[in-house]
Amino acid sequence: MGKGNWLESRKDIKILDCTIRDGGLINNYHFSDEFVKATYNACVDSGIEYMEIGKICSKTIMSEKEYGKFNFSEEKDIRAIVGENNTDLKLAVMADIGRTLKEEILPKKDSVIDMIRVATYIHQIPKALELIEDAHQKGYKTAINIMAISKVFESDLDDALKLLCDSNVDIIYLVDSFGSFYSEQIKELTNKYMKFAKDSGKEVGIHTHNNQQLAYANIIESLILGTSYLDTTICGMGRGAGNCPTELLMTFLKNPKYKLKPMLKFIEEYMVKMQKKENWGYSIPYMITGYLNEHPRSAIKFIDDNRTDFMKFDDELKNI
C-alpha cells in the first residue's frame, strides 16, 4: 500500500506545534510579541491543528525577571496575540508539577485555551492527575506527557499507564526526553501505549528529541502504528538538540490541508535570525548524552563552557 493511501484514511492525525513552549526553553521565554504573533499566524495559515503557546507556571513560584511572559501565559497576554482566536487552530499550554497552581487556571469558558497538557515524571503521577482532573472539570481537553521513561522500569510504566487510563485525561504522550530511543524501542513503546489507550478510549501522542537525529524518523514510526498527536517545532527549535521540525513533518504527511508556503515565509523572515541568535540542534555533545541515555543538561553546560574536548566529555558521562 502506498504512503498516500494509508495516510488519507487517518483523519485522527494532528500536528501540535510546540515552537514557543519547547523553543522557550532555549531563551527562558524571552520572545517578543511580534515573534509569537508571527508563529501563531504561520500555524493558522499553514493549517496546523494545535499550537502550544507556552507554559502556565505561577509567578508566585518563578521569577518574572528571569522568565518571559509565555512561561506564565496569562490570559491577557495570550489574548494580546490571538484575540478571540476565531480560527481553526486550537491552543494548548503546558503545566509543570510544582510550578503550576490549579487555582490560577481559569475555567474554559473564560479562556481562549483549548488544551491543558501536564508534564510529569513518573513519581509525580498522583500530583499530575490532580491537575488533569481540575482541568477536565473546568472544561479543557487534557494531555499528559510522562517524561524520562527511558530511565523507568517497565512495570512502573505499566502501573502509571493503568492509572492514567482510569483517569479523565484525553491524550497520553509517549515522550523521548533524552532523544535516546531507536525505532525498535519506539515501536515497542507505541504498541504498549496504543494497547492501553484502545482499552480505555484514550488517544496517544508522541514528543521526540533530536539528539541522535531520529526525532523525525521516530515520529513516523509511531504514527504508522496509530499515534494521533504529533509534537513538532518550527526548524526543530527546542531545548538542546531540539525536536522534529514542523515543516518537515508537513511535507511527509502530504495532506492538502497543510500549506507549506506560509511556514517557509515565517522561517525566512524570523527563524533565520533566531537560529543565528540562539543555540539548538544536533551537535556532538547532544549526541553523546543521547546515546548514553542522559539528560541534556550536561551537554548544555559543555556547550556554554565553550568546550570541544568531546572524548573527555564522553568519558566523564561514562564515569571513566
State the amino acid at position 201 in one-letter form.
G
pLDDT of residue 231: 98
Dihedral Cα 185, 188, 192, 195, nearest 10 deg:
140
Residue 3's pLDDT band (boundaries 50, 70, 90)? low
pLDDT single digits (tens) 16-42 = 999 999 999 999 999 999 999 999 999
* Mean of pLDDT over the chain: 96
Tell me: pLDDT of 89 over 50: yes
**Hey, CA dihedral for 269, 275, 277, 280, is it positive or negative?**
positive
Distance in angstroms (rounded) separating the CA atoms of residues 226 and 204: 8
257 pLDDT more than 80: yes
Q: pTM higher than 0.75 for the full model?
A: yes
Domain boundaries, the chain: 3-277, 284-317
CATH fold, domain 3-277, is TIM Barrel (3.20.20)
How far is the CA of 160 from the CAs of 52, 145, 168, in angstroms? 25, 12, 14
